């Protein structure tokens, strides 16, 4: 439930939509995208998008990566779940996966431009504001649940709970 002061009761919270993010991490680099359309157009992120009816999050993460970059991510591992409440009432949950390998060659599509990025040079200032709070821990091998309130692109609150391998 959402109140005027935006205190969110996450125990009863239900997202309006479900989506995914997938990061291929290989040879000291992470495969990011410049998103060309949809929610967060212009930002750097991982490939991903909303689930289609009947899909599991893992199936959607693989499908979206094929659609956006023309590669097939291999052995995706579930690493976390993001919960976003927006002030305008929109809400979204997003399952995060990591793949250690892939088949194919990343290509630009109408949806995304692939950007191989060294792990020590991730451009957090061009990404959604929550990413800096959980992506370093995911790269370090952690699993998490993250809870965020946004006003448009402005992050109002963040709470990241590590389930496994919390970052030091």
Binding site for ligand 6U4 (CB under 6 A): 19-21, 38-40, 45, 48-50, 84, 92, 94, 128, 130-131
Pairing of strands 77-86, 91-99: antiparallel
Cβ neighbours, 10 Å, residue 53: 4
Q: Which is nearer to ligand 6U4, 38 or 100 (CB)?
A: 38
d(CA 6, CA 92): 15
Q: Cβ 84 to ligand 6U4, closest distance in Å?
A: 5
Which C-beta is closer to ligand 6U4: that of 101 or that of 153?
153
| DSSP letter (8 states) at residue 102 | E
How far apart are the C-alpha atoms of 110 and 132, rounded to whole Å? 27
The three-state DSSP-derived secondary structure of 7-69 is CECCCCCCCCEEEEEEEEEECCEEEEEEECCCCCCCCEECCCCECCCCCCHHHHHHHHHHHHH
What span, in angstroms and rounded, lies between the C-alpha atoms of 134 and 159? 10
Query: Which of residues 102 and 128 has its CB atom nearest to ligand 6U4 in the complex?
Result: 128
Q: How far is the CB of 38 from ligand 6U4 (least distance, A)?
A: 2
Least Å distance between CB 129 and ligand 6U4? 7
Smaller CB separation from ligand 6U4, 57 or 102:
57
Q: How far is the CB of 50 from ligand 6U4 (least distance, A)?
A: 3
8 A C-beta contact, residue 109 and residue 70: yes
Shortest distance (Å) from residue 89 CB to ligand 6U4: 15
């Amino acid at each position: 439930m959402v109140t005027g002061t935006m205190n969110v009761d996450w125990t009863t919270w239900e997202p309006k939509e479900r989506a995914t993010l997938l990061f291929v991490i290989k040879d000291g680099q992470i495969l990011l995208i410049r998103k060309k359309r949809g929610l967060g157009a212009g930002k750097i992120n991982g490939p991903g998008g909303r689930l289609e009816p009947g899909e599991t999050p893992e199936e959607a993460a693989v499908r979206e990566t094929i659609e956006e970059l023309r590669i097939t991510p291999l052995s995706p591992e579930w690493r976390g779940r993001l919960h976003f409440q927006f002030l305008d009432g929109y809400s979204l949950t997003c399952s995060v996966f990591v793949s250690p390998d892939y088949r194919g060659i990343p290509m630009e599509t109408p949806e995304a431009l692939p950007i191989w990025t060294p792990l020590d040079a991730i451009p957090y200032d061009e990404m959604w504001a929550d990413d800096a709070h959980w992506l370093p821990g995911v790269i370090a091998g952690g699993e998490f649940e993250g809870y965020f309130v946004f006003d448009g692109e402005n992050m109002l609150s963040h709470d990241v709970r590590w389930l496994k391998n919390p970052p030091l």
